[in-house]
Amino acid sequence: MDDKQLLRYSRHILLPQVDVRGQEKLLASRVLIIGLGGLGSPAAMYLAASGVGHLVIVDHDKVDLTNLQRQIVHATERVGQAKTVSAAHALAALNPGVRVTTINQKLEGAALEEQIRQVDAVLDTTDNFASRFAINEACVRAGKPLISGAVVRFEGQVAVFVPGGPCYRCLYAEGGGPDEACATLGVLAPAAGVIGSVQAVETLKVLLGIGQTLAGRLLLFDALNMEWREMKLRKDPACPVCGKP
């Protein structure tokens, strides 16, 4: 690190769990963020500010005026732009030392698996079960940690899925219910910020190998009553994704 980097990341370096070596590890890391909405916005901003060296950001949508209530990586003057372009602009302004790769399309199949193989961690900040199941399956096959988040109305949840542990499919059966979209049910803006920020925290812990992550646990957040609950997750031996053949 040069002098400017030492100054920029000085508050991280003061933490004995991070120190110079940990910050250098973050600078050498590559993270995939799928979705630049209410969760992906704060997650991407905190990971860029924290000095994760290479962020690969994925979204196939454009910025809409209705997004700005909670999707804080975007701005009014960028309404109509591709979300990846808008987010890259904000992240470069926040930390020009972070490399940002934009993918302005929906990642599926072999393309999704290829991107996941290249990174150290994956953040699922999407808003539908089909995407979550596909991302989870690709992460299991590639042996990559997955930091998953969801939010709707006043409620949110975060979990970390690591190789060898329970996966997202152990938690939810495919086709088990309709997607809960904030477009129809609403969402409290800061609740999305809370969940996205927790995803960023968990990602940094995974990359650094510090603390106790949410692996094997589901953290549930109720903003209306300001309550946190935790559920233990168990590996499903009959899981069609991570269970034994």
Residues acting as catalytic residues: 182
Residue showing tokens 């199941």? 133
Using a 10 angstrom Cβ sphere, with 0-12 exposed, 13-18 middle and 19 or more buried, the burial of residue 174 is middle
By the 8 A CB rule, do 134 and 108 touch?
yes
Amino acid in position 175: G
Nearest-angstrom CA–CA distance, 157 and 159: 7
Joined together, the tokens standing for residue 89 give: 């602009």
The bridge status of strand 30-34 relative to strand 54-58 is: parallel
137 secondary structure, DSSP code: H
